[in-house]
Amino acid sequence: MGTFLISKRKNDEFQFVLKAGNGEVILSSEGYSSKANCTNGIESVRKNSQDDSKFEKKEASNGKAYFNLKATNGQIIGSSQMYASTSGRDNGIESVKKNAPDADVKEDL
C-alpha cells in the first residue's frame, strides 16, 4: 500500500511525494503555497492517476525516461524520478496507478 507524504520546503512551500509500498518515491509534486492546496493536489493525483491519457511519457536530454501526471486543466501535478529505460518508466506509471487511489496521507512538517 502506498503513502502520500506531505512536507514543507525550506521556502515554506508544501509538497507531497507518493511512495510505493516498498518506500520508494514514485511521484513528486510541485510546490504549493498552502497545505490545503497540497491536499487538493493529492486528490487530483488520486483521480487523474486512473486515466492513462493523463500520463505524459517523456525523455530527458540525457536519454533517461520519466513521466509527468497532468490534471484535467493540463497542469503538471506530479513528476517521476529518472529511469534508465522506458520499461522502468512504464512500471513507474503502473505503480502510481496501483498505489495512488488508496494511499494513506501522512505529514512530515
pLDDT band, very low/low/confident/very high, at 109 (cuts 50, 70, 90): confident
- CA–CA gap between residue 44 and residue 64 (Å, rounded): 26
User: pLDDT tens digits for 49-61?
Assistant: 999 999 999 999 9
Mean pLDDT, rounded, of the chain: 96
CA distances to 8, 30, 34, 38, 101 from 14, rounded to whole Å, are 4, 8, 6, 6, 21
Quote the pLDDT of residue 26: 96
Handedness of CA 71, 21, 104, 25 (dihedral sign): negative
- The hierarchical CATH code for the domain 3-104 is 2.30.29.80
pLDDT band, very low/low/confident/very high, at 5 (cuts 50, 70, 90): very high
Neighbours of 24 (CB within 10 A): 13
- The whole-angstrom distance between residue 100's C-alpha and the CA centroid of its chain comes to 9
The DSSP letter of residue 9 is: -
User: pLDDT tens digits for 42-89?
Assistant: 999 999 999 999 999 999 999 999 999 999 999 999 999 999 999 999
pLDDT band, very low/low/confident/very high, at 29 (cuts 50, 70, 90): very high
- CA–CA gap between residue 2 and residue 18 (Å, rounded): 7
Quote the pLDDT of residue 1: 85
Does this model's pTM top 0.85? yes
